[in-house]
Amino acid sequence: MMDCKKALAETGGDIEKAQEYLRKKGLSTADKKSSRLAAEGRIGAYIHDSRIGVLIEVNCETDFVGRSEKFKELVDDLAMQVLACPQVQFVSVEDIPESIVSKEKELEMQRDYLASKPENIREKIVEGRVSKRLGELALLEQPFVKDDSLLVKDLVKQTVAALGENIKVRRFVRFTLGETTGDTKTETEA
């Protein structure tokens, strides 16, 4: 209640501006909480048509929040997101190994149309294209499947602001029926 009163005072009594102020305050609060330990949580599962399945681990700070409906909904939504985005291999861009980053930069630098560009322009183009490509590999950088105006990382931040606890997406795995690991041995040979 005090936050509402303060928001109205800060915005000169304008209700719409006060709502925006409160939303911004909630997200800045979420950023402050991101350094706190998140060791509780839940494992989410999503199976589609008995052919594709996802397991995802999402952590929070307390078991109370881990059992809440809002947190459960977030975990379920994130599992569905992983299922819907088969190109996603990492939780965040920071999780992508340097070898992949280097390879992407090398591939971009070899593009023919860049040869005629000045060096500083070429570097900016490559950096932008590599950044975009790495974002395609990271779950948190994906547009949310239920609302593509929202990135997954923003959905997580909104949930942090709503629940008042740090939330971390730790890891996920996707299983597809009939997908092989590249090992040509059959089960009877192994």
d(CA 163, CA 141): 22
- Write out the CATH class of domain 1-176: alpha beta
- The pTM (predicted TM-score) of the whole model is 0.71
Residue 42's beta-bridge partner residues? 58
pLDDT at position 155: 96
| pLDDT per position as a tens digit, 19-64 | 777 666 664 554 554 555 667 899 999 999 999 999 999 999 999 9
Residue 146's beta-bridge partner residues? none
Write out residues in the chain with pLDDT < 50, as ranges: 27, 30, 33, 186-187, 190
Query: Which amino acid type is present at position 121?
Result: I
Q: At what angle do helices 15-33 and 152-163 cross, to 10 degrees?
A: 100
d(CA 84, CA 54): 10
- DSSP helix, strand, coil percent of the chain (3-state; round to 5): 55, 20, 30
User: Cα–Cα distances in Å, from 145 out to 76, 93, 129?
Assistant: 12, 19, 23
Phi and psi of 169, rounded to 5°?
Answer: -85, 115
Reference 25, options 165, 162, 170, 186; nearest CA is: 162
What Rg value do the Cα atoms of the chain yield, rounded?
21
Could you tell me the residue ranges of all domains in the chain? Answer: 1-176
- In sequence order, which ranges of 34-146 are alpha helices (DSSP H)? 63-66, 69-84, 98-109, 119-137
